[in-house]
Protein backbone atom coordinates (compact mmCIF):
# COMPACT_ATOMS: atom_id res chain seq x y z
CA UNK A 1 0.00 0.00 0.00
CA UNK A 2 2.81 2.43 0.89
CA UNK A 3 4.50 1.95 -2.49
CA UNK A 4 1.20 2.49 -4.29
CA UNK A 5 0.62 5.68 -2.28
CA UNK A 6 3.99 7.08 -3.39
CA UNK A 7 3.33 6.30 -7.05
CA UNK A 8 1.73 8.60 -9.59
CA UNK A 9 -0.96 5.95 -10.12
CA UNK A 10 -2.46 6.64 -6.68
CA UNK A 11 -5.29 9.10 -7.15
CA UNK A 12 -7.49 8.19 -4.18
CA UNK A 13 -9.36 11.40 -3.30
CA UNK A 14 -9.99 10.32 0.32
CA UNK A 15 -6.30 10.38 1.27
CA UNK A 16 -3.66 13.07 1.11
CA UNK A 17 -1.56 12.67 -2.01
CA UNK A 18 2.07 11.65 -1.72
CA UNK A 19 3.07 14.91 -3.43
CA UNK A 20 1.20 16.95 -0.80
CA UNK A 21 2.48 14.86 2.11
CA UNK A 22 6.12 14.77 1.05
CA UNK A 23 5.98 18.45 0.13
CA UNK A 24 4.65 19.26 3.61
CA UNK A 25 7.43 17.19 5.20
CA UNK A 26 10.09 19.02 3.18
CA UNK A 27 8.52 22.39 4.02
CA UNK A 28 8.43 21.54 7.74
CA UNK A 29 12.11 20.61 7.72
CA UNK A 30 12.99 23.86 5.92
CA UNK A 31 10.89 25.78 8.44
CA UNK A 32 12.68 24.24 11.43
CA UNK A 33 16.07 24.95 9.84
CA UNK A 34 15.16 28.56 9.10
CA UNK A 35 13.61 29.18 12.52
CA UNK A 36 16.49 27.66 14.48
CA UNK A 37 19.37 28.90 12.36
CA UNK A 38 22.87 27.48 12.28
CA UNK A 39 24.91 26.06 15.13
CA UNK A 40 22.05 24.65 17.17
CA UNK A 41 21.05 21.21 18.32
CA UNK A 42 17.33 20.72 17.76
CA UNK A 43 15.17 17.76 18.74
CA UNK A 44 12.19 16.93 16.55
CA UNK A 45 9.91 14.07 17.55
CA UNK A 46 7.82 12.52 14.80
CA UNK A 47 6.59 9.30 13.23
CA UNK A 48 8.50 6.67 11.29
CA UNK A 49 6.81 7.64 8.03
CA UNK A 50 7.96 11.23 8.36
CA UNK A 51 11.50 10.14 9.26
CA UNK A 52 11.61 7.77 6.27
CA UNK A 53 10.37 10.55 4.00
CA UNK A 54 12.97 13.03 5.25
CA UNK A 55 15.79 10.50 4.92
CA UNK A 56 14.82 9.63 1.35
CA UNK A 57 14.58 13.34 0.48
CA UNK A 58 17.95 14.16 2.05
CA UNK A 59 19.52 11.33 0.07
CA UNK A 60 17.91 12.63 -3.13
CA UNK A 61 15.73 9.55 -3.62
CA UNK A 62 12.20 9.45 -4.99
CA UNK A 63 9.21 8.66 -2.83
CA UNK A 64 9.16 5.04 -3.92
CA UNK A 65 12.34 4.55 -1.85
CA UNK A 66 10.87 5.96 1.38
CA UNK A 67 9.41 2.63 2.46
CA UNK A 68 12.90 1.11 2.52
CA UNK A 69 13.66 3.50 5.38
CA UNK A 70 10.28 3.12 7.07
CA UNK A 71 10.31 -0.65 7.42
CA UNK A 72 13.37 -0.96 9.72
CA UNK A 73 12.66 2.00 12.05
CA UNK A 74 12.76 1.18 15.74
CA UNK A 75 10.60 2.98 18.31
CA UNK A 76 12.50 5.85 19.93
CA UNK A 77 15.45 5.53 17.54
CA UNK A 78 17.45 8.63 16.70
CA UNK A 79 18.20 9.94 13.23
CA UNK A 80 20.64 12.82 13.02
CA UNK A 81 20.83 15.43 10.29
CA UNK A 82 23.33 18.24 9.87
CA UNK A 83 22.33 21.39 8.04
CA UNK A 84 23.94 24.58 6.87
CA UNK A 85 21.87 27.10 5.00
CA UNK A 86 19.65 25.04 2.69
CA UNK A 87 21.97 22.02 2.59
CA UNK A 88 21.09 18.96 4.68
CA UNK A 89 23.20 15.85 5.28
CA UNK A 90 22.36 12.58 6.97
CA UNK A 91 24.73 11.85 9.85
CA UNK A 92 23.11 8.64 11.09
CA UNK A 93 19.81 6.82 10.86
CA UNK A 94 17.77 4.66 13.25
CA UNK A 95 20.29 4.59 16.12
CA UNK A 96 19.00 2.79 19.17
CA UNK A 97 22.26 2.10 21.01
CA UNK A 98 21.11 4.11 24.04
CA UNK A 99 18.11 1.77 24.38
CA UNK A 100 20.32 -1.29 24.11
CA UNK A 101 22.67 0.00 26.82
CA UNK A 102 19.82 0.99 29.14
CA UNK A 103 18.06 -2.32 28.51
CA UNK A 104 21.22 -4.24 29.39
CA UNK A 105 21.63 -2.22 32.59
CA UNK A 106 18.02 -2.93 33.60
CA UNK A 107 17.91 -6.47 32.20
CA UNK A 108 14.96 -5.44 30.01
CA UNK A 109 14.20 -5.55 26.30
CA UNK A 110 13.61 -1.90 25.35
CA UNK A 111 14.04 -2.13 21.57
CA UNK A 112 10.78 -2.53 19.65
CA UNK A 113 9.53 -1.83 16.14
CA UNK A 114 6.76 0.67 15.42
Give the domain ranges of the chain.
Answer: 2-106
The reported pLDDT for the residue numbered 11 is: 87
Question: What is each CA distance from 77 to 28, 41, 46, 97, 104, in whole angstroms?
Answer: 20, 17, 11, 8, 16
The reported pLDDT for the residue numbered 114 is: 60
The reported pLDDT for the residue numbered 51 is: 97
Residues 4-27 pLDDT 10s: 888 888 888 898 999 999 999 999
> What share of the chain has pLDDT > 90, as a percent?
75
The model's pTM: 0.88
The reported pLDDT for the residue numbered 111 is: 87
> How far apart are alpha carbons 110 and 96 in whole angstroms?
9
Average pLDDT of the residues in 93-97: 96
The reported pLDDT for the residue numbered 4 is: 86
Higher pLDDT, 114 or 84: 84
The reported pLDDT for the residue numbered 2 is: 82
> How far apart are alpha carbons 14 and 30 in whole angstroms?
27
> How far apart are alpha carbons 85 and 36 in whole angstroms?
11
CA angle 88, 25, 61 (to 5 degrees): 60
Mean pLDDT of the chain: 92
Amino acid sequence: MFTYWTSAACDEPRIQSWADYSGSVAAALREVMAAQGAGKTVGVFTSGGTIATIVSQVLGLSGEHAYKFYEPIFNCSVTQLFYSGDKVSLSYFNDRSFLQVLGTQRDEQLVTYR
